[in-house]
Amino acid sequence: MAPQHIVEVSQFDCEFLELLFSSADSMRSLPRPSDLQSGRILATIFYEPSTRTRLSFESAMLRLGGSVISTENAREFSSAIKGETVEDTIMMASGYADAIVIRHHEQGAALRAAAVSPVPILNGGDGPGEHPTQALLDLYTIRAELGRIDNLRIALVGDLRYGRTARSLALLSRLTTGVELVFVSPDSARMRDDIRDQLTVAGIAFRDETDLARVLPEVDVVYQTRIQKERFESEEDYLAAKGTYILNRAMYDLLNPNAIVMHPLPRVDEINPEVDADPRSAYFRQAHNGVLIRMALLNQVLGRR
């Protein structure tokens, strides 16, 4: 049987979402230790820095009773520096592990990995492309926090050009109904046309706004993101984009009392820690949900023992 890869948001449908979310719910009360994946090995191969994605995948596998092998900073410390291709690295690692999480600096790298891999590939972020497992945990968080995923107005804020989490969440919103997306970004970091075109085809309403203060009172979710310094072509463009949208106490005062603020993290200066204790700040709860969703995903692609 062909392995089940998790590479891009377009592969998901509503039925998959429903099953995954209820499986993630059930992971909360899983006995510890569990043996659902005992004897199985997950490899995490990361060519770009990561804290949450790698740690939460590893935590998820360990909580399921499986084991983990990993190479951090694979761009420098793996054979990539000797010129090994992603394809070769994956072919080799598939003999060492039952599933592989890959994060790579090139858009499309996870798809290339999946094309050759005999074991499931999970895309942990491919450059400025996609971050499908983050989008799943983001939508799961919205459902957990607000009790629904439909009929919501969601502001995506910050770097929508290079930010793969915002791109993937926008695409995933196609599986909800009655959503309206509001893109709030500096000029140099606007949502690209590939995503806009797919939203248009799916009939998803979206608009651009520049004034975050005006948007805050009217949205249910603010999805703040980091300006992706490492992906800007010039320092000048980065500096022009940086610091445009900062959520602080004064901005929170404008926010709808029932809204939530999310962020895939890490943050730099775009959310002031002075609002961390506000109940609407959902970003750390969001990060914790990553373990539940990734446990459910690993069970899904590996099958339960």
Active site residues: 52-53, 82, 103, 131
Query: If binding is defined by CB under 6 A, does position 265 make contact with ligand NCD?
Result: yes
The alpha helices in 6-104, defined as continuous H runs, are 14-27, 52-63, 74-77, 86-93
Closest separation in Å from C-beta 129 to ligand NCD: 10
Query: If binding is defined by CB under 6 A, does position 246 make contact with ligand NCD?
Result: no
C-alpha 156/C-alpha 110 separation (Å) is 25
Q: Starting from the edge strand earliest in sequence, which strands make up the sheet with 99-104, in order?
A: 67-71, 41-46, 99-104, 121-126
Q: Which of 37, 89, 94, 134 binds ligand NCD (CB under 6 A)?
A: 134
Query: If binding is defined by CB under 6 A, does position 286 make contact with ligand NCD?
Result: no
Q: What is the DSSP letter of 294?
A: H
53 or 89, CB closer to ligand NCD? Answer: 53
Query: If binding is defined by CB under 6 A, does position 242 make contact with ligand NCD?
Result: no
Counting beta carbons within 10 angstroms of the beta carbon of residue 279, is it exposed (0 to 12), middle (13 to 18) or buried (19 or more)?
Answer: exposed
Closest separation in Å from C-beta 76 to ligand NCD: 18
Q: Which of 53, 176, 185, 286 binds ligand NCD (CB under 6 A)?
A: 53
Q: Are 275 and 154 in contact (CB under 8 A)?
A: no
Closest separation in Å from C-beta 110 to ligand NCD: 13
C-alpha 245/C-alpha 207 separation (Å) is 17
Q: Which of 90, 101, 121, 125 binds ligand NCD (CB under 6 A)?
A: 125
Site string for ligand NCD, 201-240 (x = CB under 6 A): -------------------------x--------------
Query: If binding is defined by CB under 6 A, does position 52 make contact with ligand NCD?
Result: yes
Mapped onto helix, strand or coil, the DSSP state of residue 4 is: coil
